[in-house]
A and B are shown apart, each in its own frame.
Chain A
Amino acid sequence: MTPSTPDPQGTHAVMVRRKQADVAPATSALRVVWRAVATIWSVPKARVGVALLGFFVLLAVFAPLIAPYDPSDNSFGRSEDFSAAHWMGTTAAGQDVLSQIIHGASTSVFVGFVAGLLSTIIAVTIGLTWGYLRNITGDVINFVVNLFLVIPALPLMIVIAAYLQNGGIGMIIFVVVITGWAWGARVLRSQTQSLRSRDFVTAAVFSGDGPARIVFREILPNMTSLIVGSFFGAATAAILAEAGLEFLGLGDSTTISWGTMLFWAQNSNALLTGQWILLFAPGLCISLLATSLSLINFGVDGLSNPRLREGANR
């Protein structure tokens, strides 16, 4: 063990908080979340990410209030340039671009959150069981996970989406989850394997705990940062995949989202008419949202290992 000299005030604060948590168990879950956010916030890169993500989430939640027009209202002039009435101009179908961008945030945030969450649940369930098992089932799962890791995800998504014609957001989430859980499962498996031989697991076995309790009550809390990390990773992948599928026209092309905006931009020849904002804005939003999630991941490492918190180890 490396001798670490944690900041005495920090430990004190934690102990005080623990005491408070004992006093008021009802609010303890909230406290855990609050402390997690504080830990992430203490890393500068992650702070930028949290701020960016917060911006997009606000945009997504309050889209109907913020957007100047209804995003599918096509009663305006076609392919108009910037003006006071339309800050980003209008699309070839006569819709307000800014309103579409704002409403597009809802779709991306929703798909990222739901698909990320579902992939993570599958990854946690499979990764932890697979890491704890030491029999033939483990070998079979190993093979299946490796297969899903090595099969290129996007072509698989394209093929499935092509069979499920124009399925909309639900179909896209389904396709993304099917192809997106394997990476998290593998990472969580290897961590489970290394934790399985620790003393506290042996102690739990000797005290007569069943495998399910050991896996989900003893091992799981030690992997908080990996699980949160794989959630953000899966959400990023989901947002990019959604945009890619919609860009190819595989989703429901009447959905208002950044991917369909790019689909229409290419199909209505925004390249030739010189309306660069139609290409630039949706793509930039996708990139910024995805970057915010990657930046947050820089701060996630400190969640279950205090020694990795920035500044704590020196």
Chain B
Amino acid sequence: MRFLLTKVGLLVLTLWAAITLNFLLPRLMPGSPADAAIAKLAQNGPVSNATRASIEAQLGVPTGSMFDQYLQYLGNVAQFDFGVSYTFFPQSVAGLVGAALPWTLVLVGLVTIVAFIAGTLLGVLAAWKRGTWLDTLPTVGGTFASAFPYFWTALLLLFFLGYVLGWFPTSGAYGRGATPEFTGAFLLDALYHSLLPATTILITSLGGWILGMRSTMINTLGDDYVTFAEANGLRPRTVAIRYAARNAILPNLTSFGLALGGVVGGSLLVERVFNYPGVGYLLYTAVVNQDFPLMQGLFLIITISVLMANFIVDILYGILDPRTRR
């Protein structure tokens, strides 16, 4: 219980720091993003006072002291009020982010879990069959593939499988004319559209898990209890899985949380390549149009999602390894 409370306390503190960073970022930058934003918004028609106040709270215009602005900002965030996007005027940032988030969460979430499981298994195999081709192939292949820029893998797959061979759709998350709904046909269509982006993320992130698992597994293979298990005449597979791999998986899980940020970053670029309507593509749209409120809102949501995922991994770690609970 004390373990859980400490973790929750740390999460709250980190969330606060992330939100504060988001508040400070536009104010530390040269020029006044808020003036630029309001000027741009004014091109779409008259700017209401409420909208103006909301943008100023987000981006900072010297009305009131910095502290007052900060309080107003915190209040807005607590109500999920991130202002109004002016690329998609007059839609609210919160609404836009809410529509894009599920696509990214499902895509990145599922692929990351698959990559983690597959990579860990391959890592176990590589460490157990050290020195054979089962070791060399995943290790060297993994090192090379994890050096691929995400967007390059995406471009290659898109070009060869999408344009040249025409096996997969080249853009979007579902067919033109389809409306998102929970029917078998639509889900199948969405799955078909997600295959290329998913494969991209899988190829690029798999190597890291293989290498991580392999090196921790090689460490545990040198431990006394593994030698003892072997001396006892246990079957090699039992020794590998129940003894060595079981203890090697914990450190790999810690790196899961940290690697997640990288995967999320990479998937933003992948979404841009495939015009996948997730958070990354929206962030790209916001950046291109200098839509600062949308950009800030997205950055905050992405950060909070990664923080939450890390929190879940931390809790899981505590459940799996009683020593950390103390």
| B interface size (C-beta, 8 A) | 55
Contact of B152 with A262 in the complex, beta carbons under 8 Å? yes
B296 at the interface (CB under 8 A from A): yes
Q: Which label, helix, strand, loop or mixed, suits the secondary structure of the B interface? A: helix
Contact of B266 with A154 in the complex, beta carbons under 8 Å? yes
- B144 surroundings in chain A (CB, below 8 A): 287, 291
Minimal Cβ-Cβ distance residue in B for A263: B151
- B156 surroundings in chain A (CB, below 8 A): 279-280, 283
Contact of B29 with A152 in the complex, beta carbons under 8 Å? no
- B258 surroundings in chain A (CB, below 8 A): 149-150
B268 at the interface (CB under 8 A from A): yes
Max count, chain B CB within 10 A of own CB: residue among A149, A236, A249, A291: A291
Minimal Cβ-Cβ distance residue in A for B170: A271
For B143, give its contact among A152, A240, A295 (CB under 8 Å).
A295
- B257 surroundings in chain A (CB, below 8 A): 150
- Shortest B152–chain A CB gap in Å is 3
Q: Which of B16-68 contact A (CB under 8 A)?
A: 17-18, 21, 25-26, 29-31, 33
B-facing mask of A136-174, CB < 8 A → 1, else 0?
A: 000000010011011111111011101110000000000
Contact of A286 with B287 in the complex, beta carbons under 8 Å? no
A-facing mask of B1-19, CB < 8 A → 1, else 0?
A: 0000000000001100110
Q: Which of A262-299 contact B (CB under 8 A)?
A: 262, 265-266, 271-272, 274, 276, 279-280, 282-283, 286-288, 290-291, 294-295
> Given A249-B288, A279-B159, are A163 and B143 neighbors across the interface (CB < 8 Å)?
no
A243 at the interface (CB under 8 A from B): yes
Contact of B149 with A158 in the complex, beta carbons under 8 Å? no
Give Cα A276–Cα B143 distance, bound, in whole angstroms: 24
> Given A151-B261, A151-B306, A152-B264, are A160 and B25 neighbors across the interface (CB < 8 Å)?
yes
Contact of A162 with B261 in the complex, beta carbons under 8 Å? no
- Shortest A193–chain B CB gap in Å is 17
Give Cα A274–Cα B159 distance, bound, in whole angstroms: 8
- B302 surroundings in chain A (CB, below 8 A): 152, 155
- A248 surroundings in chain B (CB, below 8 A): 269, 272, 284, 287
Q: Which label, helix, strand, loop or mixed, suits the secondary structure of the A interface? A: helix
Contact of A283 with B299 in the complex, beta carbons under 8 Å? no
- Shortest A92–chain B CB gap in Å is 16
A244 at the interface (CB under 8 A from B): yes
> Given A150-B258, A163-B33, A294-B143, are A244 and B307 neighbors across the interface (CB < 8 Å)?
no
- B150 surroundings in chain A (CB, below 8 A): 244
- Shortest A142–chain B CB gap in Å is 11
Give Cα A151–Cα B257 distance, bound, in whole angstroms: 11
> Given A159-B296, A162-B287, A163-B25, are A152 and B13 neighbors across the interface (CB < 8 Å)?
no
Give Cα A280–Cα B264 distance, bound, in whole angstroms: 24
A250 at the interface (CB under 8 A from B): yes
A-facing mask of B93-108, CB < 8 A → 1, else 0?
A: 0000000000000000
Give Cα A252–Cα B18 distance, bound, in whole angstroms: 29
Contact of A247 with B151 in the complex, beta carbons under 8 Å? yes
Contact of A236 with B147 in the complex, beta carbons under 8 Å? yes
Contact of A153 with B290 in the complex, beta carbons under 8 Å? no
Give Cα A249–Cα B295 distance, bound, in whole angstroms: 16
Minimal Cβ-Cβ distance residue in A for B17: A147
B-facing mask of A113-140, CB < 8 A → 1, else 0?
A: 0000000000000000000000000000
B166 at the interface (CB under 8 A from A): no
Contact of A143 with B152 in the complex, beta carbons under 8 Å? no
Q: Which residues of A contact B (CB under 8 A)?
A: 143, 146-147, 149-156, 158-160, 162-164, 236, 240, 243-244, 247-250, 262, 265-266, 271-272, 274, 276, 279-280, 282-283, 286-288, 290-291, 294-295
Supply 6 further A-B pairs (C-beta < 8 A) apart from A155-B283, A244-B151: A146-B14, A147-B18, A243-B152, A247-B149, A265-B155, A287-B144
10 smallest beta-carbon distances between A and B, as pairs: A154-B265, A283-B152, A290-B147, A152-B261, A163-B29, A291-B147, A162-B287, A287-B147, A152-B264, A159-B299
19 contacts between A and B (CB under 8 A): A146-B14, A147-B17, A150-B257, A150-B307, A151-B18, A152-B264, A152-B302, A152-B303, A155-B298, A158-B283, A158-B287, A247-B149, A248-B287, A262-B151, A271-B155, A286-B152, A287-B147, A287-B149, A290-B147
